[in-house]
A and B are shown apart, each in its own frame.
Chain A
Amino acid sequence: AQSVTQLGSHVSVSEGALVLLRCNYSSSVPPYLFWYVQYPNQGLQLLLKYTSAATLVKGINGFEAEFKKSETSFHLTKPSAHMSDAAEYFCAVRNQAGTALIFGKGTTLSVSS
């Protein structure tokens, strides 16, 4: 069965610092992988997706993620954090059996000035 593990339920960075949010997946077939962001009291917004094209994927708001098959990882990064990046971030893999998404437990990103 497919699964997603997000290491670190809470990550704190200073404004301007590198953001690194970790995601490891389990899948017996080439996966479709996604990062979603959830701001307080809002829905899920897609940041970026990997669909077996380029392994380095660029998304919105300066975020990017690299698919590493050998490490079964899809970590999310941003070179310089901004206060507005404070939110909950979810990594997800598409269900092998269909099109449903399997989400990780999420990582709360805090950004301090």
Chain B
Amino acid sequence: EPEVTQTPSHQVTQMGQEVILRCVPISNHLYFYWYRQILGQKVEFLVSFYNNEISEKSEIFDDQFSVERPDGSNFTLKIRSTKLEDSAMYFCASILQESVEQYFGPGTRLTVT
């Protein structure tokens, strides 16, 4: 069964450093998402991406964040200058069309020290 994959599974970085989280959505899906889950808290929406542009974003998704689909298969989330409070599990998700459920990847645990 097709699945969303994410790399790395765990990323440790120092405060102020740039980090790129990578996702490979299911191949024929059209909508892509990033969510985050701070330890012990609920899953929060960050951004959605469709037709090579951001279609929706939350208040969390400020200028420190950016997304890109560089090569037609990967979908990346970049955090320009990480802060301690960026430590969280980051989930990528994709859907084929609006009416279908989102398929989530296994997540990348980001630890900012």
* Chain A contact residue count (CB 8 A cutoff): 23
A90 at the interface (CB under 8 A from B): yes
- Which residue numbers of B lie inside 8 Å of A, CB to CB? 31, 33, 35, 41-45, 48, 55-56, 58, 91, 93, 95, 98-99, 101-107
Closest chain-A Cβ to B83's Cβ sits at a distance in Å of: 23
A43-B106, A100-B56, A101-B102 are known contacts. Are A106 and B91 too (CB-CB below 8 A)?
no
**Beyond the given A99-B48, A103-B43, could you list 7 further A-B residue pairs with CB under 8 A, ordered by the A residue number?**
A90-B42, A95-B56, A100-B48, A100-B56, A101-B33, A101-B35, A104-B42
Question: In terms of DSSP, what is the predominant structure of the interface of chain B?
Answer: strand
Cross-chain contact A99 with B101 (CB below 8 angstroms): no
Cross-chain contact A34 with B101 (CB below 8 angstroms): yes
Cross-chain contact B104 with A43 (CB below 8 angstroms): yes
Cross-chain contact B56 with A98 (CB below 8 angstroms): yes
